[in-house]
């Protein structure tokens, strides 16, 4: 294909490219990373672009950004198939797929209103992953409530 057809946004020199984000979830990825226009990062975003396998995806590029473990965990919950590309001097030095964490501490609000983690003097929430077939659920370690990945996504503490 000609460059006019393929090149959408430029390559970055240093930073991270979050690729293969579920189409439509790019803004949510930025949101869990707490990146806004005031954060000072140079960010580029592609939404609903064609991936090599023919399906649609989103891409987020953040220059000079280093991701912490907690941030990787949050991205995995929003978009479990996302890949992280670490770019240094224009070259990709590391590429990996995010993976759902076994334990999620202090990032999720338990959906059970009576849970001690939602009490007036709250205890930090702790969820453990439970895999049943291809489904991933998370169980609150205090009240035993299980939450689907979809519920988990909607319960990320802002």
Judged by CB under 6 A, the chain residues 96 through 155 that form the site for ligand CTP are none
Q: Which residues, 6+ apart, have CB-to-CB distance to 73 below 8 Å?
A: 100, 101, 104, 107
User: What does the chain come to in residues?
Assistant: 158
Q: Which residues pair with 105 in a beta bridge?
A: 126
d(C-alpha 27, C-alpha 85), whole Å? 18
- Of 21, 57, 61, 126, the residue at the interface with ligand CTP (CB under 6 A) is 61
- Of 29, 108, 140, 152, the residue at the interface with Zn ion (CB under 5 A) is 140
Burial tier of 3 (Cβ tally within 10 Å: 0-12, 13-18, 19+): exposed
Q: Starting at the edge strand that comes first in sequence, how are the strands of the sheet with 91-97 ordered?
A: 43-50, 56-63, 15-22, 83-88, 91-97
For residues 138 and 142, which CB has a smaller minimum distance to Zn ion in the complex?
Answer: 142
- Of 31, 35, 41, 83, the residue at the interface with ligand CTP (CB under 6 A) is 83
- Of 18, 32, 59, 62, the residue at the interface with ligand CTP (CB under 6 A) is 59
Q: Judge contact between 126 and 142, C-beta under 8 A.
A: yes
- Of 16, 17, 33, 98, the residue at the interface with ligand CTP (CB under 6 A) is 17
d(C-alpha 105, C-alpha 82), whole Å? 21
- Of 18, 87, 126, 140, the residue at the interface with ligand CTP (CB under 6 A) is 87
Q: Which stretch binds ligand CTP (CB under 6 A): 23-31, 83-91, 100-108, 136-144?
A: 83-91
For residues 43 and 59, which CB has a smaller minimum distance to ligand CTP in the complex?
Answer: 59
For residues 87 and 140, which CB has a smaller minimum distance to ligand CTP in the complex?
Answer: 87
Least distance in angstroms from the C-beta of 39 to ligand CTP: 19
Contacts with Zn ion, residue ranges (CB under 5 A): 110, 112, 115, 140, 142-143, 145
């Amino acid at each position: 294909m000609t460059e006019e057809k393929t090149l959408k946004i430029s390559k970055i020199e240093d930073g991270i490219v979050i690729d293969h984000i579920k189409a439509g979830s790019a803004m949510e990825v930025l949101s869990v990373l707490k990146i806004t226009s005031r954060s000072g990062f140079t960010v580029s975003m592609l939404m609903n672009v064609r991936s090599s396998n023919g399906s649609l995806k989103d891409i987020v590029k953040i220059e000079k950004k280093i991701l912490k473990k907690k941030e990787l965990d949050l991205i995995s919950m929003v978009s479990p198939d996302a890949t992280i590309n670490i770019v240094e001097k224009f070259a990709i030095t590391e590429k990996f797929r995010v993976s759902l964490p076994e334990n999620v501490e202090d990032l999720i609000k338990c959906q059970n209103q009576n849970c001690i983690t939602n009490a007036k003097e709250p205890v930090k929430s702790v969820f453990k992953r439970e895999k049943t077939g291809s489904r991933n659920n998370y169980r609150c370690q205090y009240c035993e409530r299980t939450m689907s990945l979809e519920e988990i996504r909607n319960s990320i503490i802002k």
